[in-house]
Structure 1
Amino acid sequence: MYALTLTAELNGVTNLRPKDTAESPFWYTFTVQCTSCRETHGKPVAVSRFRESSCSIKTAPKPYAQGEPPKQQSVIEFDCRGLEFTDFSPEGEWLADGIESNTKFEGVELQDGEWYEYDEKAGDEVSIKDLKWEIKRA
């Protein structure tokens, strides 16, 4: 069993999580390496917890909570057979909540490694940056 973990600096927002529902599944995109020949596949592989594959996502995504200092937290857990994930790409739509305002942020994109927005209710800028994704044995 493995876990995808995240450490990130969240300013003004919390509960960062992928938009991942049966109606709108999130496709977790990974670089894949064969466990026997150790060859890395040329194209990334995307998996969904709502589709059958040789990798099963065991849990619903856990929201990443804001903290000072940022702490590594598990986002999802998965089990793979015959392949190993070596890198994660946060492609897709993410969600976050304003800490003080409870503003619901949708359409958060993390591919560039950072996200900035203005929280009208809080009257302040919010951001997500310094994302560090890691795949660990659970």
Structure 2
Amino acid sequence: MLALALTAELNGVTDLRPNDSADNPFHFSFKVQCTSCRETHPNWVTVNRFSTDELSGSRGEANFVWRCKNCKREHSANITTPPASYPLSSPPKAQNIITFDCRGLEFTEFKADGEWLATGLESSTKFAEIDLTEGEWYDYDEKAGEEVSIKVLKWEIRRA
């Protein structure tokens, strides 16, 4: 089991989470490595919890199925928990955002593309379309009358 953990400095917002629904699935982007031959796929791959692919040999299905070009083995990963929200904490501490059951592969790097959501701490203002690709985000909470931000993002893939 692997988990994607996040540590971030939230100012004026809480409950940072991917915008993930059946109508609008969030695609988690990773670099993937074969645990058999240690070959790393050269491209980013995406995984979402609402789609599955068949495993060969009628062995079921998984959220992500990949055949290593080097050793020709088929590997898979399933999302075992829906995405969790990251609450405001002081000091910021790592929290698992999503957990995967990986068979024959490891995710080695995460890219935070996609749309994120957060809630105003004092005002409960809903912030949507948050872009974390630059590693930080700034906005203004009209109801609270103050700037809000998400900074010092640290993504970690760890054993769950």
- TM-score bracket for this pair, using the shorter chain length: over 0.9
Letter in structure 2 aligned against 1:62: A
Equivalent in the alignment of 1:130: 152
Letter in structure 1 aligned against 2:105: L
Q: Give the SS at the match of 2:91.
A: coil
Q: Match for 2:129 among 107, 111, 125?
A: 107
Give identity over the alignment, percent: 64
Q: Match for 1:58 among 38, 61, 80?
A: 80
Letter in structure 1 aligned against 2:134: D
* C-alpha RMSD of matched pairs (Å): 0.7
Q: Which runs of 4+ in 1 moved over 6 A?
A: none
Letter in structure 2 aligned against 1:56: N
Q: How does 1:1-138 map to 2 (within 5 A)?
A: 1-52=1-52, 53=64, 54-138=76-160
Deviation, 1:2, is 1.1
Deviation, 1:133, is 0.4
Mapped partners of 2:151, 2:31: distance in 1 = 22
Deviation, 1:55, is 1.2
Q: Give the SS at the match of 2:5.
A: strand
Deviation, 1:24, is 0.4
Letter in structure 2 aligned against 1:85: F
Mapped partners of 1:47, 1:55: distance in 2 = 9
TM-score, length-normalised on structure 2? 0.85
Gaps of at least 5 residues in structure 2 are 53-63, 65-75
Letter in structure 2 aligned against 1:6: L
Mapped partners of 1:113, 1:35: distance in 2 = 29
Mapped partners of 1:62, 1:101: distance in 2 = 21
Mapped partners of 2:114, 2:77: distance in 1 = 19
